[in-house]
Amino acid sequence: MDFSLTKTQQQMAEALSNLGKYVIRPMSLEMDRTHVVPEAFMKQFVALAGSLRSDEVNAALGESVERPAPTRDKPTQANRTALVGAEWMAWADASLLLCLPGPGLGGPPIRATGTREQKKKWFGMLEEKNAAGELAWGAYGLTEPGAGSDVSGIRASCRKDGDSWVINGRKCYITNGARASWTVVFATVDPELGRGGHRAFVVEKGTPGFSVGKIEDKLGLRASETAELVFDDCRVPAENLLGGEDAYGSRSTGFQTAMKTFDATRPLVAAMALGIGRAAHEYARDFVKDRYVLSRPIARYHVLADRLARMHRKLEGARMLVWKAAYLADTGQPNAKEASMCKAAAAQAAVSACFEAIEICGAEGSIQGEHQLLEKWFRDIKVYDIFEGTGQIQRVVVSKRLFPDLRAF
């Protein structure tokens, strides 16, 4: 593995660092308080990002351009580039990253399973809207009130009726669910079939029978929209079945689509967690530098230095796991185990970093105020050990690959 960044990645990190420090962070607490990212800023950000984009960045963002699958002989940098962008954006403000227009989590399942025509239609719809100056999003609808980490337990139903499919059920905790132009929705033809009954559909906003329920009021990531979606005899055209009828047959294509999505998104979520954890570590490090002379032989000072060193070591170790998962994807190799490993490790390292930073900084770190971002990061970070599969589920995934013949997992 090469641990150096390409010129494009270095430029992206530098640009996002400056933007985060001088533009995004000064807005961060206000966005957290109002639960809103200003639309004018998002339009400016999209325009700025468009002017800086290269082929490497286009690939990382999941453009609909057809590209050959990566191999060891012909690797890509798409996944690594996406991780660099995710970490630096989360370092600035993780809520803003989740709010940015584009396919979002709905992109990976369409890229993994969608036909050429479906990719062109659904990605093209967002590109056309954004080109016209209209902000547009995609979304990913998998989690249900009774099935989150246990993907095989979804109960939203679907049945074929002529040239349409009829969907019934509820989805919860859907990022950008209320504003999305379309949502990739998972349902089952029969819960008794388990993963074999899963189907994935693209449901457009405004489809009869498809409505938005409540918008969640959350502990952290408060500027990010998280919605409940309701399907009441929602009728979608047969051509909206992701991959088409022939892609399913006797195979568990719907379930595999969800799993392939996690293989792509778990390293991204891990990179976001690292961004928040690194922000907290830097805050605590600078706090200690400004207030203590660590070279003095005082026991407390040695303890502070040791805690900061341990935080840094855990975050750096987790980053290596994240980059390995990206390396495997960029060279066309399976990365399910590594995606789960890095997601579990990065979330734990970042949660620990935020907790340690709060303890090191004391009252200054835990009291809300004009400049107190640490308290916000402490609230934001917890969900990274929960969504995209809890830490417990990641350990189950890894265990299954360590002991493939054991059914206890």
Q: How does DSSP classify residue 386?
A: T
Tallying the residues shown for the chain, one arrives at: 409
Show the CA angle centred on residue 404, arms to residues 401 and 406, nearest 5°: 125
Q: The tokens of 80 are what?
A: 């690594």
Instruction: Give start and end residues of each alpha helix (H) in 70-225.
Output: 78-99, 107-113, 116-131
Residue among 63, 144, 225, 388 flagged as catalytic: 388
Q: What is the largest CA-CA distance in the chain?
A: 80
CA atoms of 276 and 380, how far apart (whole Å): 8
CA atoms of 128 and 122, how far apart (whole Å): 10
CA atoms of 199 and 112, how far apart (whole Å): 14
Q: Do 51 and 241 touch, CB atoms closer than 8 A?
A: no
The residues near 64 (Cβ < 8 Å, ≥ 6 apart) are 119, 120, 123, 124, 127
Q: What's the Rg (C-alpha) of the chain?
A: 22
**Which of 349, 358, 353 shows the shortest CA–CA distance to 391?**
349
CA atoms of 301 and 36, how far apart (whole Å): 41
Specify which residues 170 forms β-bridges with: 230
Q: The tokens of 34 are what?
A: 């109002």
User: Three-state SS for 243?
Assistant: coil
Question: Would you call 151 exposed, middle or buried from its count of C-beta atoms within 10 A (0-12, 13-18, 19+)?
Answer: buried
Q: Do 377 and 350 touch, CB atoms closer than 8 A?
A: no
The residues near 32 (Cβ < 8 Å, ≥ 6 apart) are 95, 222, 223, 376
Q: What beta strand segments (E) does 177-281 contain?
A: 182-188, 198-204, 210-215, 226-237
Specify which residues 198 forms β-bridges with: 188
Task: State yes or no: is 134 an active-site residue.
Answer: no
Q: How does DSSP classify residue 158?
A: E
Q: Which residues are catalytic?
A: 388
